[in-house]
């Protein structure tokens, strides 16, 4: 597997990227003991100043190489590793073979998470530290596909940051981190710590409201400011006097599954500063340790039983920048996987302050893991349409929804979509047909038609036996219709007499059915749950709202005995009278 990088250029033109791949390395330097780390960094810097490209990483466990008081576990690989290349090659978009499929399991149970949170809060109350970054690994098995295919899927799931794929021979590091550790041209240095997270909204209005809430939330702002203060202090160790500045605070950045808050801290470095000096001042980044750093890292070592590895360390590129000069850009390797054979590890975590609560942090972890869940199993975008006597029902609405999903998941849109629908309509000029339209990650479209019999009303509905987990109701595989439907299929009716199952979220709010939306007549008016409850807003639902037949309204489990009538709604079946059986 070729090493490659896809980095934002943080001090260049807006949107500019450094996208390169590398062939065979001229040399590889690795440090296996703390005393060897500085020498590896010096060698990489000297090679870049002499005109070479160097790509590599520093593990979180290398912290003691710069400050012996920084506690970590023993490393499970080289503390620092850099490969040297005589040239950078053009980025290539190519076939990666079979799509990757990874099965993940969490190493941390909710009860253990709650206990760790209690320990952290007790230490904060005792004045040991005021913030700590707590993490745990997800463990996965690569069931299908290659490391290249998995990296390509990760890039689609988390585009636009500081991505790199490194193959050391023993392991592959696949990083799609959105967080800049530092960008240094030998004179000016920029750090961009990332602290503060919120989920993306189900509608543009809700999305903007969540972003604004993140920007203004006291807990999130306090967490961000703590890290900014730590980075200011760290940078001052290598900065010219009075040059440390914070030109931007509380900037919200939209990622596919979450909003993140960043701030900029910059400075001018003192003449003679070396790359190893930069690491000695900043490493590990305060956003993944907490503050004060020494005390926070002691707590991390006590709470986390295994080494973090490259996750939460630093990964980056040194490139030539003129005679005797070089430019270094490193990410903080969050949203990063380590792959050894078929075994994968991906860390997930968050910063804990006195204002954090276990329930909120646990939800944040679920949001953060969405990127790896999206990348770990191939899926297609999906629309179900009605074709009646050769004419499409609500075609513009379906195409718009499919196009919105393609934009969200970075799937290419092609003319194939219209072509395959035209061909299908021409082949089925009479009768009612259920059409399944799918679009894959390469922009290939296909459509199939199935005979559709009339539905006898009222249809029978059942209530789900348990709540749909937050990671689904608050995730993108509910907001957008795809072929990844295991979370729906788990609740599908087993009794052929039952038409569909009515779902609800962990807050006890009704959401939707497994096959369409629902509406209820409550207190004399028809209501349908809003997208914020965690549901796919169907085309049939949109039509009913537009016609004024129904309005959005919250419907909770305790309201069900008062519901006077039910309806099932989707584009294929229309508005169907329904009956819901309540559990006794």
pLDDT in tens, 518-564: 999 999 999 999 998 999 999 999 999 999 999 999 999 999 999 99
pLDDT in tens, 2-46: 899 999 988 765 668 999 999 999 999 999 999 999 999 999 999
pLDDT at 415: 86
The four Cα atoms 400, 405, 411, 412 give a dihedral, to 10 degrees, of: 10
Residue 195 among the catalytic residues:
yes
Greater model confidence, 462 or 355: 462
Element (H, E) at 228: helix 218-236
Percent of the chain with pLDDT over 70: 98
Residue 179 among the catalytic residues:
yes
**554 shares its domain with 463:** yes
Percent of the chain with pLDDT over 90: 77
Number of domains in the chain: 3
pLDDT at 111: 93
**47 shares its domain with 192:** yes
Residue with tokens 């030539």: 320
pLDDT at 186: 93
pLDDT at 204: 78
**426 shares its domain with 465:** no
Report the predicted TM-score, pTM, of the whole model to 2 decimal places: 0.85
Confidence of residue 96 (pLDDT cuts 50, 70, 90): low
pLDDT in tens, 297-351: 999 999 999 999 999 999 999 999 989 999 999 999 999 999 999 999 999 999 9
pLDDT at 14: 63
Q: What is the rounded average pLDDT of the residues 280-285?
A: 97
**429 shares its domain with 328:** no
CB–CB of 470/363 below 8 Å? yes
User: Which CATH number belongs to the domain containing residue 576 in this structure?
Assistant: 3.20.10.10
User: Which CATH number belongs to the domain containing residue 93 in this structure?
Assistant: 3.60.120.10
Give the active site residue among 179, 223, 361, 373. Answer: 179
Quote the mean pLDDT of the chain: 93
- Long-range Cβ contacts of 301-304 (<8 Å, 24+ apart): 301/71, 301/72, 301/73, 302/119, 303/116, 303/119, 303/120, 303/134, 304/73, 304/134, 304/135, 304/136
pLDDT in tens, 437-461: 999 988 999 999 999 999 999 999 9
Q: Is the pLDDT of residue 259 over 90?
A: no
**402 shares its domain with 481:** no
Phi, psi of 21 (to 5 degrees): -125, 165
pLDDT at 12: 60
**394 shares its domain with 366:** no
Structural domain for 197, as ranges:
3-374
**422 shares its domain with 463:** no
Element (H, E) at 182: strand 180-184
pLDDT in tens, 418-432: 999 999 999 999 999
Q: Select from 354, 374, 394 the last residue of a domain.
A: 374
Greater model confidence, 369 or 295: 295
Q: Is the pLDDT of residue 95 over 70?
A: no
**480 shares its domain with 575:** yes
**437 shares its domain with 523:** no
**30 shares its domain with 135:** yes
**127 shares its domain with 170:** yes
pLDDT at 253: 84
pLDDT in tens, 38-71: 999 999 999 999 999 999 999 999 999 999 999 9
Give the active site residue among 171, 195, 220, 304. Answer: 195
Q: Select from 321, 344, 374 the last residue of a domain.
A: 374
Q: Is the pLDDT of residue 160 over 90?
A: no
- Give the integer Cα–Cα distance in Å for 122 and 101: 41
pLDDT at 473: 82
- Alpha helix segments (H runs only) across 135-217: 147-157, 204-216
- Give the integer Cα–Cα distance in Å for 88 and 98: 27
Confidence of residue 192 (pLDDT cuts 50, 70, 90): very high
For residue 501, count CB atoms less than 10 angstroms from its CB and return exposed for 0-12, middle for 13-18, buried for 19 or more.
buried
User: Which CATH number belongs to the domain containing residue 413 in this structure?
Assistant: 3.30.470.10
User: Helix, strand or coil for residue 342?
Assistant: coil
Q: Select from 451, 482, 508 the last residue of a domain.
A: 451
pLDDT at 223: 82
Confidence of residue 378 (pLDDT cuts 50, 70, 90): confident
pLDDT at 94: 64
**99 shares its domain with 241:** yes
Q: Is the pLDDT of residue 123 over 80?
A: yes
pLDDT at 15: 66
Sort strands 500-504 and 459-463 into parallel, antiparallel or unpaired: parallel
Q: What is the rounded average pLDDT of the residues 163-174?
A: 96
pLDDT at 211: 86
């Amino acid at each position: 597997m070729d090493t490659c990088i896809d980095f934002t250029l943080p001090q260049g033109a807006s949107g500019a990227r450094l996208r390169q791949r590398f062939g065979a390395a001229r040399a590889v330097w690795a440090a296996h003991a703390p005393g060897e780390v500085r020498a590896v960094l010096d060698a990489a810097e000297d090679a870049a100043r002499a005109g070479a490209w160097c790509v590599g990483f520093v593990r979180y466990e290398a912290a003691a190489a710069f400050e012996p008081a920084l506690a970590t576990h023993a490393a499970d690989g080289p503390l620092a590793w850099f490969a040297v290349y005589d040239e950078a090659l053009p980025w290539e978009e190519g076939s990666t073979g079979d799509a990757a499929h990874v099965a993940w399991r969490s190493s941390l149970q909710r009860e253990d998470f709650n206990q760790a949170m209690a320990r952290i809060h007790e230490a904060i109350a005792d004045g040991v530290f005021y913030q700590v970054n707590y993490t745990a690994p997800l463990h996965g098995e690569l069931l299908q596909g290659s490391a290249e295919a998995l990296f390509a899927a990760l890039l689609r799931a988390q585009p636009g940051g500081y991505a790199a794929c490194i193959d050391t021979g023993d392991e592959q590091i696949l990083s799609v981190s959105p967080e800049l550790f530092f960008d240094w041209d030998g004179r000016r240095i920029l750090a961009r710590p990332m602290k503060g997270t919120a989920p993306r909204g189900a509608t543009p209005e809700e999305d903007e409201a969540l972003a604004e809430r993140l920007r203004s939330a006291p807990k999130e702002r306090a967490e961000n400011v703590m890290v900014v203060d730590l980075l200011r202090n760290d940078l001052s160790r290598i900065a010219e006097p009075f040059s440390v500045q914070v030109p931007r605070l509380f900037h919200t950045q939209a990622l596919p599954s979450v909003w993140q808050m960043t701030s900029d801290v910059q400075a001018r470095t003192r003449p003679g500063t070396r790359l190893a000096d930069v690491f000695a001042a900043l490493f590990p980044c305060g956003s993944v340790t907490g503050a004060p750093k020494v005390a926070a890292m002691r707590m991390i070592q006590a709470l986390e039983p295994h080494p973090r590895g490259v996750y939460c360390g630093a990964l980056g590129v040194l490139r030539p920048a003129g005679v005797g000069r070089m430019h270094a850009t490193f990410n903080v390797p969050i949203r990063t996987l380590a792959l050894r054979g078929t075994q994968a590890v991906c860390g997930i975590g968050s910063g804990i302050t006195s204002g954090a609560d276990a329930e909120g942090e646990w939800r944040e972890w679920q949001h953060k893991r969405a990127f790896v869940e999206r990348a770990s199993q191939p899926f297609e975008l999906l629309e179900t349409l009605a074709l009646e006597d050769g004419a499409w029902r609500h075609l513009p609405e379906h195409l718009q929804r499919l196009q919105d999903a393609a934009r969200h998941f970075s799937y290419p849109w092609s003319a194939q979509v219209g072509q395959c629908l035209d061909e299908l309509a021409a082949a089925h000029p009479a009768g009612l047909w259920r059409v399944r339209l799918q679009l894959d990650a390469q922009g290939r479209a296909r459509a199939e038609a199935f005979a559709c019999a009339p539905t006898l009303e009222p249809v029978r509905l059942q209530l789900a036996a348990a709540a749909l987990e937050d990671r689904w109701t608050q995730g993108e595989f509910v907001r957008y219709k795809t072929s990844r439907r295991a979370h729906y299929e788990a609740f599908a009716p087993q009794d052929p007499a039952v038409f569909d199952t009515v779902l609800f979220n962990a807050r006890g709010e009704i959401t939707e059915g497994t096959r369409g939306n629902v509406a209820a007549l409550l207190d004399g008016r028809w209501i349908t749950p809003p997208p914020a409850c965690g549901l796919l807003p169907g085309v049939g639902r949109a039509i009913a709202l537009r016609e004024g037949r129904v309005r959005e309204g919250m419907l909770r489990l305790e309201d069900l005995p008062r519901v006077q009538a039910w309806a099932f709604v989707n584009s294929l079946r229309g508005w169907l009278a329904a009956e819901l059986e309540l559990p006794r």
